[in-house]
């Protein structure tokens, strides 16, 4: 009997962005941007302010409506206008640079609000999951505290737990350390490194170049709403090919941030 050759079935990217265009007040912020993210991959977006990093993340999470282009999550067209955005956001966690915690709610209430009210999950189930996450990130004793009793680093870790409590398929992090005092940055970055080790698929926008170099599987340099260069961190940071990337990194080095 002839042997049948094994042909591996190609796996779909976890996320596919094709031809994304977005403008504000007539100015293009994303210009025909394409990006694939593989399962378990950590993609870090770098670039100057206004280059389109945050807008890209907001479009992926359907917080901004695209002018053109498509976004697929596990092959599903999530930018189809017939799709319920709340259903999509249950699969995508997003963490912002400002913590966006409700000051009149405890840590536990902040984490469980959306799963209970929006996604109609049972309170006991969500509270148990939230408590497990808080223990994992060293905040198990803070569940009944109010946000103003926490440090900035602790508040940001709570915000990340809030994004993780629905077991998202994809985690988006937008400059999550930019509002922190320097001594508090490390505890948040350590949490993100742990998530990478556990295989979480992530897209991060950051100005922390040293951290990007450590955690990224792939670095994408954005300029003018386009990805001008992308590759492994050792290539992008060590031997950038595009003149604009070299110029950007030279300024970062001169500022002592790499």
Q: Which two tokens stand for residue 118?
A: 């929006």
Q: pLDDT tens across 92-145, in order? A: 999 998 888 999 999 999 999 988 887 788 999 999 999 999 998 899 999 999
Query: For domain 15-100+171-254, which architecture applies?
Result: 3-Layer(aba) Sandwich (3.40)
Residue 223 to residues 31, 97, 178, 212, Cα–Cα distance (Å): 10, 20, 20, 17
* Average pLDDT rounded to a whole number, residues 35-47: 97
The backbone region for 181, taken as left when phi is positive above 0, alpha when psi lies in -120 to 50, beta otherwise, is: beta
Q: Please report, for the chain, the start and end positions of each structural domain, with discontinuous segments joined by +.
A: 15-100+171-254
Q: Which pLDDT score is estimated for 258?
A: 66
Residue 204 has pLDDT above 90, yes or no: yes
State whether residue 156 is helix, strand or coil.
helix
pLDDT value for 1: 47
pLDDT digits (tens, 9 = 90+) for 219-232: 999 999 999 999 99
Q: Supply the pLDDT for residue 226.
A: 96
């Amino acid at each position: 009997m002839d042997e049948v050759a094994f042909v591996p079935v190609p796996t779909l990217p976890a996320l596919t962005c094709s031809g994304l265009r977005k403008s504000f007040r007539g100015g293009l912020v994303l210009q025909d941007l394409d990006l694939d993210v593989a399962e378990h991959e950590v993609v870090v977006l770098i670039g100057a302010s206004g280059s389109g990093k945050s807008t890209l993340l907001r479009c992926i999470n359907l917080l901004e409506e695209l002018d053109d282009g498509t976004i697929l999550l596990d092959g599903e067209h999530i930018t189809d206008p017939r799709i319920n955005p709340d259903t999509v956001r249950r699969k995508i966690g997003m963490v912002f640079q400002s913590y966006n915690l409700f000051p009149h709610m405890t840590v536990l209430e902040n984490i469980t609000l959306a799963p209970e009210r929006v996604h109609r999950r049972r309170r006991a189930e969500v509270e148990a999951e939230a408590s497990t996450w808080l223990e994992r990130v060293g905040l198990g004793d803070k569940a009944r505290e109010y946000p103003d009793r926490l440090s900035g680093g602790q508040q940001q870790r709570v915000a990340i737990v809030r994004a993780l409590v629905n077991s998202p398929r994809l985690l988006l992090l937008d400059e999550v350390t930019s509002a922190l005092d320097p001594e508090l940055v490390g505890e948040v970055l350590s949490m993100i490194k742990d998530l990478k080790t556990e295989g979480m698929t992530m897209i991060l926008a950051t100005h922390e170049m040293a951290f990007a170099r450590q955690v990224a599987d792939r670095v994408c340099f954005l300029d003018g709403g386009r990805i001008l260069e992308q590759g492994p961190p050792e290539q992008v940071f060590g031997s950038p090919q595009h003149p604009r990337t070299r110029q950007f990194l030279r300024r970062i080095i001169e500022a002592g941030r790499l």
